[in-house]
Amino acid sequence: MNDEPQLLAGRYEVGDLIGRGGMAEVHIGYDTRLGRNVAIKILRADLARDPSFQTRFRREAQAAAGLNHPSIVAVYDTGEDHRPSESGAVQAVPYIVMEYVEGHTVRDILKGDVAAPIEEAVEITLGVLSGLEYAHHAGLVHRDIKPANVMLTPTGAVKVMDFGIARALADVGQTMTQTQAVVGTAQYLSPEQARGENVDARSDLYSTGCLLFELLTGRPPFMGDSPVSVAYQHVREEAPRPSQFASDVPAELDAVVGKALQKDRNARYSTAQEFAADLERAMGGSPAPGTGTTPVGSAAWGVGAAGVAAAGAAAGAQSGGPDGSDATSIMPADDGAYPYTPGTGATAVMPAGGGWGSVMGGPPGPPPSVRPPSTGTIVTDEELVEDDPRRRLLIQIGIAAAAVVGLILVIWALFSMLGNDGGEPEPTATLVTVPILAGVEQDTAGTRLTALGLEPVFEEEMSADVAEGLVIRTDPPAGDQVDPETDPEVTVYVSTGPDEVEVPEVRGMTREDAITDLEEAGLVVTTFEEDHDPDIAVDRATKTEPAAGQVVAPGTEITLYVSDGKVELPELRGSTESEAQQQLIELGLTGNAEDVETTEADPGTVIEQDPLPGLVNQGSTVTIKVAQAPTTVEVPNVVGMTQSQATNALTNAGLQTNVNEENSLTVPSGEVMSQNPSGGIKVAVGTTVTITVSEGPLPTTSPGP
């Protein structure tokens, strides 16, 4: 037995299987040339013969290989391995060599329908949006954002993976596979994907909204018995609010998720950056204008919420080195060890926003001043200045320019002070950002605006989409910056509900879901009635009064009819067998017919039924007895009858008659002396009965002359 590991391209050792998908298998691998662990994705052998799968697999490699971002799993290499097939012919099996990410998927977090903490849910979503922003700018739509395609590393970094069905923005019209099956995963499909229409970046943002919804609530926004039913809901039904399933979700996040899950893509966020900015505002992480700071996870950084190496570099570019100095430090060289840890010379994962701990809640690392010394060379600005006269000149020019600007600012400030009454400096205007209030109760909206120094002005407005008493929008809109001193008024439009509503269709829903739908439409369920509906299971809604589709005033009282699991069995006796069976089929009942020979009813007529008319359980079996013409008959006793009486009796019994005549001294003429078969014997209908009729005594003969 050969224990040598499989080697691809002469450098990649293929190790144990660590994952399997519908198109490929993923193995842990080892790059012998660079001395590092990798993940190797190999197209399944049974699919390698199909050119369409090979094309799709290569497209994934091409799509992801051009993306170099800390929130996207990196692709290092791609190629083809030539293997003998079962027929003996050599076939090409494509493979992709990717970054090996140690950690777990978001799907693992959500197992058991457990929601993530709100802060962590937002951080994960910001990481996904960061990667998508980069991919969209690169002209690529992922098309399959879901929890199973988002990885979390032990350091808290977010990694988007599996660009297997990604498409270039120039090619987004191709939403179908060759088998004309809609691509993507049903619970996270955008409405346009479900309809097979063109997709764009906003389709990914819809799927990200589904991901955020599930992180906040522990369940996707739409659920059903089949992928088709879920896709139908994405197209036709409005998404619920996360707070309906998780009461701790604030209204601001409800509004963000609601905008991301709009059916009309024009009503959604247009970019991932816009989505991320609203998320940060909803969480209260938006900085005041002019502070020059950016909160952790901001889309403006262009990095994931977990803050990997690129984020650390961006932070260093803004505020100098990690220790606060202006020195530029060189990271230690990679020694090939895995997992990579700071201090080993391997690639280090840097935190976002200048913090050195894990954003996802892991233990903080040591501050830069106590981290182990690296083997790299630290070059200071002083050394650079000494080595480069031009740099020294540029610095001197910069210092002189800064001095001139500072002098100008001082002079301007003095003139401003002198121009004011009393010689006091004019206060600098402080702007505040109008918060997101859509979906918030009126009192809460007023409290939040007042806390910011703003004056709420409430206006009522009818709305068919926003419940009565909740905020529809504000003017200025959320996100705008206003001066509380000069322009403090903010008009808040509060919903009065719709002026008329259409009774929704609730047939087939559970009692609880039907009540929820009716109340969300602005109606009041006051009465419940039992209904005997053969098509609706017990304790599910059958109809409403007023009926579905009728337009009524808000607050109208509704009677909800609920199935009791029974049906009304009608009277079947007297109807034909076919008529009875048809009625039972329409009621969802099973008919069991039994034939009964009788002369008291027409053949084919129902003469008995069990159970009798009344309420029976859905799906019950009903036994019906159907009259059939008799096949045998009892021969009547006609001895002693006249010939005509005997003939009538036998004919009425369905028998034929044959008459013989004999002389008899004892039996009067014209009476039946005997019969064959005898009376009381059962014979087949139509049997001939022979009767012997007396002719009286023989006539006497006169003696001759």
- Would you please indicate which residues are annotated as catalytic (active-site) residues? 144
CA distance 669 to 695: 4
Tell me the sheet residues that pair with 141: 167
Peptide bond into 366 cis (omega under 30): no
Q: CB-hemisphere CA count at 13 Å for 415?
A: 6
CA distance 146 to 160: 9
Q: 7-21: buried (b, 16+ CB within 10 Å) or exposed (e) per residue?
A: ebeeebbbbeeeeee
Q: Tell me the Cα Rg of the chain.
A: 44
CA distance 411 to 605: 114
Sequential DSSP letters for 15-42: EEEEEE-SSEEEEEEEETTTTEEEEEEE
CA distance 622 to 656: 40
Enumerate residues 6+ apart whose C-beta is below 8 A from 24.
41, 42, 43, 44, 57, 164
Q: 590-613: buried (b, 16+ CB within 10 Å) or exposed (e) per residue?
A: ebeeeeeebeeeeeebbbebeeee
91: its two tokens: 């076939």
Could you tell me the sign of the dihedral formed by the alpha carbons of 234, 237, 243, 245, in that order? negative
Longest dimension (CA), the chain: 189
Alpha helices in 456-598 (DSSP H): 511-520, 577-586
- E strand spans, 5-135: 6-8, 12-20, 24-31, 36-43, 75-84, 90-99, 104-105
Q: 156-193: buried (b, 16+ CB within 10 Å) or exposed (e) per residue?
A: bbbbbbbbbbbbeeeebeebeeeeeebbbbbbbbbbbb
- With residue 62 as reference, give the H or E element that holds it: helix 51-65
419: its two tokens: 């121009």
Residue type, 475: D
- With residue 191 as reference, give the H or E element that holds it: helix 191-194
Supply the DSSP symbol for 149. G
Could you tell me the sign of the dihedral formed by the alpha carbons of 102, 107, 113, 118, in that order? positive
Angle, CA 184 vertex, CA 179 and CA 186 arms, to 5°: 105
Sequential DSSP letters for 349-366: PPPGGG--S-TTSPPP--
**Secondary structure (H, E, C), 236-299:** HCCCCCHHHCCCCCCHHHHHHHHHHCCCCHHHCCCCHHHHHHHHHHHCCCCCCCCCCCCCCCCH
Tell which residue, 701, 688, 620, has the closest CA to residue 651.
688
Supply the DSSP symbol for 400. H
543: its two tokens: 């109809």
Q: CB-hemisphere CA count at 13 Å for 226?
A: 3
